[in-house]
Amino acid sequence: MHTPNSKLRSRSGKMDLPALSALAAGIRLRRLPVQLLFAASFCIAGAAAATDPQVTTTPQAKQLEEVEVHANTATSAITQAPTQADLTITQPQSVIGLDYISNHVAPTADYAAIAGIAPGVSTIGVSGPGLGEAKQMTIRGFNDNQYNVTYDGIPFGDTNDFSHHTSSYFPAKMIGQVTVDRGPGGASQIGQATFGGTVALRSKDARDDFSFIPTVSYGSYDTTLTHLELNSGRIDSLGGGKLIASAQYNDTDTFRTNSPMSRKTGYIKYVQPVGSSTEVTFLSNYNYIRFNNPDKTDLTQQQIDTLGRNFGLNRDRTSTDCYCYNYQTKQTDLEYIGVSSALSDTWQLDNKLYTYAYNNDSHESPYVGTGASKTNMGGYNKINNYRAWGDTLETTRTDEHGQLRLGAWYEYIDNTRYSVALDYGLGGIHDVKKGKPDSSAYKYTMIDRLRTTQLYAEYAWRVTDQLTLTPGIKYDRATRYIDAPINQTTKLPLYYQQTWHKPLGSLTANYMLTSEWSVYGQAAQGFLTPNLNQFYVPNPGENKVAPQKTMNYQFGTVYKTDRFNADADVFYIDYQNFPLTAVDPVTHDPIYAMAKGATMRGAEAEATYYMGEGVSLYANGSLIDAKFKNSNLRMPTVPSGTAALGFLYDIGGFFGSLTEKYIGGQRVYNSDFSPDIASSVKATGHTTGWWQSALSLGYGQNVSGSFIKSYKIRLQVDNLFDEHKQVIDAIKGTTPYYLVIPGRSWFASVSLAL
Phi, psi angles (nearest 5°) of residue 614: 80, 10
DSSP code string of 655-678: EEEEEEEEE--EEEEBTT--TT-G
Tens digit of pLDDT for each residue in 121-131?
A: 999 999 999 99
- pLDDT band at residue 432 using 50, 70 and 90 as cut-offs: confident
User: What integer pLDDT is reported at residue 81 of this predicted model?
Assistant: 93
Strands, E assignment, 157-312: 177-181, 198-202, 211-219, 223-231, 242-252, 261-274, 278-291
Maximum Cα–Cα distance for the chain, whole Å? 83
> Does 3 have pLDDT greater than 50?
no
Q: How many whole angstroms separate alpha carbon 9 and alpha carbon 23?
A: 13
Percent of the chain with pLDDT over 90: 70
Give me the mean pLDDT over the 416-428 stretch.
Answer: 90
Characterize 333-351 residue by residue with b for buried, 16 or more Cβ atoms within 10 angstroms of its Cβ, and e for exposed.
bbbbbbbbbbbebbbbbbb
Task: Kindly tell me if the per-residue pLDDT of 43 is higher than 90.
Answer: no
d(CA 321, CA 364): 10
Decide if 499 is inside a domain.
Answer: yes
Residue 375: C-alpha distances to residues 275, 429, 699 (Å): 71, 16, 59
- Rounded to the nearest angstrom, the gap between the alpha carbon of residue 589 and the centroid of all alpha carbons in its chain is 25
pLDDT at residue 750 greater than cutoff 50? yes
The per-residue pLDDT for 13 is 40
User: Which domain range does residue 553 map to?
Assistant: 211-222+254-263+293-753
Lowest-confidence region among 303-312, 540-549, 572-581, 737-746: 540-549
The conformation of residue 589, written as its DSSP 8-state character, comes to -
Give the C-alpha separation, 441 to 62, whole Å.
56
- Euclidean distance between CA atoms 336 and 176, whole angstroms: 17
pLDDT of residue 41: 33
The answer on pLDDT for 167 being more than 90 is no
pLDDT of residue 440: 77
Are 227 and 178 in contact, with CB atoms under 8 Å apart?
no
d(CA 491, CA 508): 47
The tally of domains found in the chain comes to 1
**717 within domain boundaries:** yes
Buried b (16+ CB within 10 A) or exposed e, 77-95: bbbbbbbbbbbbbbbbbbb
For residue 64, the model assigns a pLDDT of: 63
Residues forming beta bridges with residue 249, ordered by sequence position: 226, 264
pLDDT score for 512: 97
Q: Which tens digits make up the pLDDT trace of 473-486?
A: 999 999 999 999 99
Query: What 8-state DSSP symbol labels residue 194?
Result: G
Amino acid (1-letter code) at residue 120: G
pLDDT value at residue 36:
30
Taken as a whole, the chain contains a residue count of 754
Question: How high does pLDDT run on average in the chain?
Answer: 87
Predicted local confidence at residue 390, as pLDDT? 97
Q: What is the CATH classification number for the domain harbouring 442? A: 2.40.170.20
Stated as kind and residue range, the H or E segment containing 623 is: strand 615-628
Q: Is the pLDDT of residue 426 over 50?
A: yes
pLDDT in tens, 667-723: 999 888 889 999 999 999 999 999 999 999 999 998 888 889 899 999 999 999 999
Cα end-to-end distance, the chain, whole Å: 22
Instruction: Give domain status of residue 101, yes or no.
Output: no
CB neighbours of residue 25 within 10 Å: 8
Mean pLDDT, range 135-146, rounded to an integer: 89
Q: Is residue 391 part of a domain?
A: yes
Q: In whole angstroms, how large is the CA radius of gyration of the chain?
A: 26
Higher-confidence residue of 581 and 673: namely 673
Please, which pLDDT band fits residue 542 given cuts at 50, 70 and 90?
A: low
**pLDDT (0 to 100) of residue 321:** 92
3-state DSSP: the chain helix, strand, coil percent, rounded to 5? 10, 55, 35
Q: Is-contact 275 51, C-beta < 8 A?
A: yes
Instruction: Select the more confidently predicted residue: 32 or 91.
Output: 91
Instruction: Assess contact for 214 and 231: CB atoms under 8 A.
Output: no
Q: What is the identity of the amino acid at 666?
A: Q
Confidence of residue 732 (pLDDT cuts 50, 70, 90): confident
Q: How far is CA 205 from CA 246, 356, 390, in A?
A: 11, 20, 23
pLDDT for residue 614 is more than 80: yes
DSSP labels for 297-355? SSB-HHHHHHH-TT---B--TTSTTBGGG-EEEEEEEEEEEEEEEE-SSSEEEEEEEEE
**In 16-167, beta strands by DSSP E:** 93-96, 121-124, 135-139, 148-151, 154-155
Residues with Cβ within 8 Å of 453's Cβ and at least 6 positions away in sequence, in order, are 408, 409, 410, 475, 476, 477, 478
Rounded distance between C-alpha atoms, residue 309 and residue 249, angstroms: 28
Is 106 within the bounds of a domain?
no
Q: Which of 158, 128, 153 has its CA nearest to residue 143?
A: 158
Mean pLDDT, rounded, for 34-56: 34
**Is 488 inside a domain boundary?**
yes
Question: What per-residue confidence (pLDDT) applies to 31?
Answer: 32
pLDDT > 80? residue 86: yes
Q: How many CB atoms within 10 Å of residue 438?
A: 14
CA distances from 309 to 31, 356, 529 (A): 56, 37, 39
Weakest mean pLDDT among 146-150, 196-200, 234-238, 369-373: 369-373
Nearest CA among 76, 63, 86, 80 for reference residue 15: 86
CA 646 from centroid of its chain's CA atoms: 24
Q: Is residue 748 in a domain?
A: yes
Does residue 265 have a pLDDT over 80?
Answer: yes
Phi, psi angle pair for 417, to nearest 5°: -140, 135
20-29, 338-347, 577-586: least confident range = 20-29
pLDDT of residue 156: 94
Predicted pLDDT at 430: 83
- Cα–Cα distance between 398 and 126 in angstroms, integer? 48
Instruction: Return all residues near 414 (Cβ < 8 A) that are at least 6 apart.
Output: 386, 387, 447, 449
Residue 74 has a pLDDT of 63
pLDDT for the residue numbered 453: 97
- Model pLDDT, residue 429: 84
pLDDT band at 489 (very low <50, low <70, confident <90, very high): confident
* 279 within domain boundaries: no
Write out 473-539 in H/E/C secondary structure. Answer: EEEEEEEEEEEEEECCCCCCCEEEEEEEEEEEEEEEEEEEEECCEEEEEEEEEEEECCCHHHHCCCC
CA–chain centroid gap for 82, Å, is: 17
Distance of CA 462 to the CA centre of its chain: 32
The answer to whether residues 643 and 621 touch, using CB atoms and an 8 Å cutoff, is: yes
pLDDT tens-place string over residues 370-414: 888 899 999 999 999 999 999 999 999 999 999 999 999 999 999
Q: Could you give the CA distance from residue 680 to residue 669 in angstroms, rounded to a whole number?
A: 9
d(CA 687, CA 727): 6
Tell me: the pLDDT tens digits for 91-103? 999 999 999 999 9
Residue 662 pLDDT level (bands cut at 50, 70, 90): very high
448, 417 in Cβ contact below 8 A? yes
